[in-house]
Structure 1
Amino acid sequence: MNGEGKVTASHRSRLAIIYLRQSTMLQVRDHTESTTRQYALVDLAAELGWTPENILVIDKDLGISGRFGTERGGFHDVVAKVCLAEAGAVFGLEVSRLARSSADIARLLELARLTDTLVVDSDAVYDLADFNDRLLLGLKGSMSEAETHLLNGRLQGAKLTAAARGDLRVPLPVGLEYDEDGLVVLDADEEVRAAVGDVFAEFARTGSAYGTVAAFVGRTFPLRAYGGVWDGQLRWGKLT
């Protein structure tokens, strides 16, 4: 692996932290290959000389965005262990898995530089004491943040274009559905309409969202699933 010689006995005496992250639970469910590749970093750490007891997998952030300001318990654990010089290396499939924010990346890289912690991705081993490695990782972090901005811009632009044509379709609240002409109508299922009607009736009676939920204890409530294998199917569960 490129840069393998940067790994020393000092690094191997500390933890190899394998950090896993995916942005949404939909990705976790449908993009299982990415999750598998991230877990496989354990094997890479072993190949680079870490013993099994010194390899720590942190996967609390599966299904959580890496954007700035997002509360990520797993990332905080990584930063804490790097700050305490308990980590010899932090492994991520790519820099965007560590964070989609230049600010978060810069903070982690600075702590890694101060504590002689390596950063390892699928391409190479990076030593933050080396200017070129620091520059390259900084560029990767900036590109990751820019990629998120560009993707969001494209998605929003596509939605605005569809809306301008009158063709924008979004998931509807339970009790509503699109008919064959694309118009919003009441759900054709009588049980669904009755359950939604009961919610409004209970809210009118209690004047409270909590009171409404309490009235549904022991009853099930409908939910239309969107996306994935359950797309369009009616499921019944707890009213929250």
Structure 2
Amino acid sequence: MSDTANKIGTSHLQRAAFVYIRQSSASQVEHNRESTQRQYALAQRATALGWSQQQVNVVDDDLGLSGASTARRGGFARMTAEVALGHVGIILGLEVSRLARNNADWYRLLDLCTMTDTLIGDADGVYNPAHFNDRLLLGLKGTMSEAELHILRARLDGGIRNKAARGELRRGLPTGLVWGEADGEVRLHPDEAVVSALHAVFARFNEFGSARRVWLWLRSENLSFPLQLNRNEQIRWVAPTYNAIYNVLTNPVYAGAYCYGKTRTERYVDKHGTLKTRLRRLPQSQWAVLIREHHEGYIDWATYEANQMRLAANTKPRPHETGGAVREGAALLQGLATCGHCGRSLKTHYRGTKNDVISASNIQFTFWPFSATVNASSASCWLRPGRNPYENPRKSSS
């Protein structure tokens, strides 16, 4: 590696010097202020290397953002664009990890710097990516930066999983449960009104067997339901919603179980080519931690599993599968629907495509054996008084 003075030429000094500043999180920006000040001090180093103050551009748009990818890092994207246009003579960062912790992003930047003869500098020296030895060293630094991120994540995740395996990792609890003083201790909420409201939900579900009927019962009784968005917030009493009742019935924590790892983060590319992440719910057999009888619950585990089977049976089944509630089809209300005027049997059929939402407005009844159609949302009937009950309404109206 040649000396710094020999690497910086006139062509570099005629272009701008970019100082890139980044901290990985808002907490680091607030608490690790010494590191931030050291990064800002690189602007003085740029002037010491020969650039004027007017040529020095400080890029601090990405403070509080991770360097694992370029997503949302507008400052890095703007700096890369300037490098590609040949407007940058040198990029200064406290260390390689400030610029990128992903080899794909790092080598893309190195390739652009090589093509535009842009230098890269850190606390150890100044490098020219066009030189083989300098590029080799920068590549090793980038690889070590990515490996360091993997090691940090593995160490952190390992500690979290180890604590969760003992049932001591404190995470958000649903309404009606609070953390105790001991490690992993979970208690029922001290407010008896909250406990009674949740006990009522499970008792009514045991009686009705339907989450919707429990919700309708609460509404008919004009009962409020407790809501607590986080543990630092006070309990609020609100009108019950179906989602709130369903979430109570399906949450295993109410059955005295400690759960961890019920979801998995997946990365995918959307239709616009953007890399995004999403949460995927896992079946119970794939949960990372499931400790039954971890704490006192509102129901036992056997009751919880029975409730899940009842809820699943209420769900509309897929084609060629048994179970579920009947919601539509030619057999709906078979032998039950009759004409209010003549007493003759009716059968059902539907308007529109199969993708239409089933509602009262697109369900129709047909008089059997004629094809006289009656709209379920209409108060009138084709066979109203004064009309021949054996006359086909369509023929008479044509």
TM-score by length of 1: 0.76
Distance in structure 1 (CA, Å) of the matches to 2:98 and 2:43: 15
Distance 1:174 1:91, change over 3 A: farther
Contact 2:70 2:105 in 1 (8 A): no
Which residue number corresponds to residue 193 of structure 1?
Answer: 234
Task: State the Cα distance separating 1:175 from its structure 2 match.
Answer: 8.8
Distance 1:151 1:19, change over 3 A: same
Opposite residue 86 of structure 2, the aligned amino acid is A
Q: Deviations over 1:104-161 (max 9, x none)?
A: 0000010001000000101000011110000000110011001111111111111111
Which residue number corresponds to residue 50 of structure 2?
Answer: 49
Between 1 and 2, higher relative CO (CA 8 Å, sep ≥ 6) is seen in: 1
Contact 2:70 2:76 in 1 (8 A): no
Distance in structure 2 (CA, Å) of the matches to 1:94 and 1:162: 33
Opposite residue 35 of structure 2, the aligned amino acid is S
The reply on whether 1:82 has 2:83 as its aligned counterpart is yes
Task: State the Cα distance separating 1:194 from its structure 2 match.
Answer: 3.4
The reply on whether 1:183 has 2:185 as its aligned counterpart is yes
Instruction: Determine what percentage of the aligned residue pairs are the same residue.
Output: 48
Distance in structure 1 (CA, Å) of the matches to 2:116 and 2:160: 46
Opposite residue 128 of structure 1, the aligned amino acid is P
Stretch moving more, 6-15 or 168-177: 168-177
Which residue number corresponds to residue 135 of structure 2?
Answer: 134
Contact 1:175 1:193 in 2 (8 A): no
Distance 1:90 1:172, change over 3 A: farther
Instruction: Note the residue ranges of structure 2 that are not aligned, 5 or more in a row.
Output: 192-227, 245-398
Contact 1:4 1:125 in 2 (8 A): no
Distance 1:171 1:100, change over 3 A: farther
Distance in structure 1 (CA, Å) of the matches to 2:60 and 2:117: 23
SS at match of 1:60: coil
Which residue number corresponds to residue 238 of structure 1?
Answer: none
SS at match of 1:70: coil
Distance in structure 1 (CA, Å) of the matches to 2:16 and 2:61: 17
TM-score by length of 2: 0.47
The reply on whether 1:20 has 2:21 as its aligned counterpart is yes
Distance in structure 2 (CA, Å) of the matches to 1:175 and 1:119: 56
Distance in structure 2 (CA, Å) of the matches to 1:22 and 1:118: 22
Task: State the Cα distance separating 1:48 from its structure 2 match.
Answer: 0.3
Contact 1:175 1:192 in 2 (8 A): no
Task: State the Cα distance separating 1:3 from its structure 2 match.
Answer: 2.1
Stretch moving more, 56-65 or 7-16: 7-16
Task: State the Cα distance separating 1:4 from its structure 2 match.
Answer: 3.5
Of structures 1 and 2, the larger Rg is shown by 2
Distance 1:192 1:166, change over 3 A: closer
Task: State the Cα distance separating 1:71 from its structure 2 match.
Answer: 2.2
SS at match of 2:90: strand
Opposite residue 169 of structure 1, the aligned amino acid is R
Task: State the Cα distance separating 1:35 from its structure 2 match.
Answer: 0.5
Which residue number corresponds to residue 155 of structure 1?
Answer: 156
Opposite residue 234 of structure 2, the aligned amino acid is R
Instruction: Note the residue ranges of structure 1 that are not aligned, 5 or more in a row.
Output: 208-240
Q: Deviations over 1:83-109 (max 9, x none)?
A: 000000001000000000000000001
Which residue number corresponds to residue 68 of structure 2?
Answer: 67
Opposite residue 60 of structure 1, the aligned amino acid is D
Contact 1:12 1:88 in 2 (8 A): yes
Task: State the Cα distance separating 1:205 from its structure 2 match.
Answer: 9.4
